[in-house]
Structure 1
Amino acid sequence: MQSLRVEADEATAKVEELQKQVKALEHENLQKEQEITSLQHRNGLLDAQVEKLEAEKKDLKASAGDTQQHATQNETLQRRLQLLEEEAEEADKNLRETNDKLRQTDVKAGHFERKVQALEQERDQWETKYEEVSKKYAAIQKDLENLQIEISGM
């Protein structure tokens, strides 16, 4: 009997020891599950952060592309502005030359207008002289006819 008691005590001790081991393993298992849950939560947060960073990266790439496009567009507009400024300078130069030629033409026109006025005055004087001479000629012609009539009548 005693050997059964000893066996029972040993079995009881072994059961208690195994129960302690089971409790320790259950406790360890619970800690591991909590750690797994914590790590899964942290993994979820990190995945969300990765997605956020990837979206930000995509936005930054798009922004960089837009910046490059704006830089290219800016260069194009700068070249266009330079060409327009050069064209404006050329047009201004042509305008000054045209104004100079217009002033010269106005001076010449004024000169020719004075010349025309002088020639018109001279023409008027000649017309007046012609009318006077025509009147004198007509008077002399009449006197000549009268003289011829008188000479014929004599």
Structure 2
Amino acid sequence: MDRIKEKIATYKAEAESWQDKYDELNNKLKELEQDNTEKENSIKSLNAKNQQLDTQVEKLEGELVELKQSLKDSTTLQAHNESFNRKNEELETNLDETDTKLKETQEILRETDLNAEKLQRKVMALEQEHDLTEQKNEELTIKYNAAKKELDEIAASLENL
């Protein structure tokens, strides 16, 4: 019976040992389940953050596309601006040249006007001189005709003599 008692005691000790192991494993299971729950919550949180980040990435990619388009537009506008600046410089240069030519032409025109006025005064003086010369010519023609008439009369009276 001692043996049975020993065996019972051994079984009791073993049962207690198994009960302790069961309690220990049960506690571990609870810890693992709690850890698993925490990790699942963490996964859910990370999935939510991942979705937020995906949304943010899509938004940023959209902005990137817009910025790239803006950059292309800006580059195009810059090229147009440079082209317009070159054309503006060319036009300003042409304007300066034209201005210079205009001033030269105006100076030549002034000189021509002055020469025309001088020539007009000379023409007027020559016309006056011409008028005087014609008037003198008419007077001389009249005197000549009168002298010729008188000479003809003298020649006719000499012939009659």
TM-score interval, smaller chain: 0.7 to 0.9
- 1:131 is displaced (CA, Å) by 0.7
- Runs (5+) with no aligned partner, structure 2: 1-19
3-state SS of 1:71 partner: helix
1:1-154 aligned within 5 A: 30-154=37-161
How many pairs align? Answer: 154
- 1:55 is displaced (CA, Å) by 1.0
- 1:40 is displaced (CA, Å) by 2.3
Calculate percent identity across the aligned residue pairs: 42
3-state SS of 1:107 partner: helix
TM-score by length of 2: 0.74
Distance 1:114 1:17 in 2: 137
Distance 1:142 1:63 in 2: 110
Instruction: Give the aligned residue type for 1:124.
Output: D
Equivalent in the alignment of 2:16 = none
- 1:121 is displaced (CA, Å) by 1.2
Q: CA RMSD in A?
A: 3.3
Instruction: Give the aligned residue type for 2:88.
Output: L
> Cα deviations across residues 67-126 of structure 1 (Å, max 9, x unaligned)?
222222222222111111111111111011111111111121111111111111111111
- 1:14 is displaced (CA, Å) by 10
